[in-house]
């Protein structure tokens, strides 16, 4: 008899090979090496057909180490099978864990959303993240990547590039909190966080502040002024500035 857990929110990563419709033995062998890495990071499922994987992390598992390991495996894969490449989408949302005599499985909207996003993104390889994951990742002060918004015209609104290692180090200096850049994902995060503190007037207050502010740190300070509780105000400021810094 199967037992299904209560809904929990967690990180889900979906990956496949972009750039071809058929794959030789050497490519499939390299993909198996990626799978070997990923199996040690969380629960992995695969759909029949094209080489692909869906990694579901435990709800209390910090995403940074898993994403870093996957990124390193992807770099090695891309170098070995160029011009093919591994593309991945990371998302944060609701799943259910199912325990049965046959083993453990995960189902839920987060898995479907992640797989759907992967099917719709351009076949350019690399790591992409949804706005939901960007908001979740802002809770962690130290992560092995930076986030940059995908350029306009992308297949999915609010998608972000994850930049790891040398790529992140080479990214243009200057924090989004001091450059006046407030992209759609940041604005959405600001509205959601402010709504948690003051309720349904948050959207209007953020829109009004955007028209007056010339930098994100100024915007954050103005919005925080609408929160009466000092501790909640400080946490709100920290959350938004951390989110902004992650997107520099």
184-238 pLDDT, tens per residue? 778 888 888 888 888 767 887 888 788 777 788 888 988 998 898 999 999 999 9
Closest CA to 71 of 150, 165, 159, 169: 165
What are the two backbone dihedrals, phi and then psi, of residue 244, each rounded to the nearest 5 degrees? Answer: -60, -40
- pTM beyond 0.85, yes or no: no
The proportion of the chain whose per-residue pLDDT surpasses 90, expressed as a percent, equals: 33
Instruction: Place 168 in a pLDDT band, splitting at 50, 70 and 90.
Output: very low
Task: Write down the mean pLDDT value for the chain.
Answer: 82
Check residue 18 and give its pLDDT.
Answer: 81
Check residue 172 and give its pLDDT.
Answer: 40
Burial class (CB in 10 A: 0-12, 13-18, 19+), 6: exposed
Check residue 151 and give its pLDDT.
Answer: 62
Q: Poorest-confidence range of 21-25, 30-34, 74-78, 137-141?
A: 137-141
Closest CA to 126 of 156, 81, 91, 162: 162
pLDDT of 1 higher than 70: no
Tens digits of residue pLDDT in 239-248 = 888 888 776 6
Report, as an integer, the average pLDDT of 172-186. Answer: 52
- CB of 164 within 8 A of CB of 143? no
Range 151-155 contact pairs with CB under 8 angstroms and sequence separation of 24 or more: 154/121, 154/122, 155/120, 155/121, 155/122
């Amino acid at each position: 008899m199967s037992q299904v857990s209560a809904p929990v929110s967690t990180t889900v990563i979906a990956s496949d090979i972009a750039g071809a419709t058929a794959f030789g033995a050497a490519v499939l062998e390299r993909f198996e090496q990626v799978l070997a890495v990923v199996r040690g990071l969380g629960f992995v499922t695969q759909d029949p057909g094209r080489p692909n994987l869906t990694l579901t992390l435990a709800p209390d598992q910090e995403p940074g180490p898993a994403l870093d390991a996957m990124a390193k495996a992807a770099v090695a894969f891309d170098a070995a099978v160029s011009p093919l490449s591994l593309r991945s989408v990371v998302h944060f949302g609701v799943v259910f864990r199912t325990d049965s005599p046959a083993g453990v499985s995960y189902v839920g909207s987060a898995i479907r959303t992640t797989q759907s996003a992967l099917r719709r993104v351009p076949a350019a390889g690399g790591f992409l993240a949804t706005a939901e994951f960007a908001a979740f990742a802002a809770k962690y002060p130290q992560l092995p990547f930076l986030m940059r918004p995908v350029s306009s015209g992308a297949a999915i609104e609010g998608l972000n590039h994850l930049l790891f290692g040398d790529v992140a180090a080479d990214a243009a200096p200057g924090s989004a909190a001091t450059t006046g850049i407030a992209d759609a994902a940041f604005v959405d995060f600001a509205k959601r966080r402010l709504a948690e503190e003051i309720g349904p007037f948050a959207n209007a207050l953020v829109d009004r502040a955007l028209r007056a502010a010339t930098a994100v740190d100024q915007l954050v300070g103005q919005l925080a002024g609408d929160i009466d509780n000092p501790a909640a105000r400080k946490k709100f400021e920290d959350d938004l500035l951390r989110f902004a810094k992650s997107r520099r």
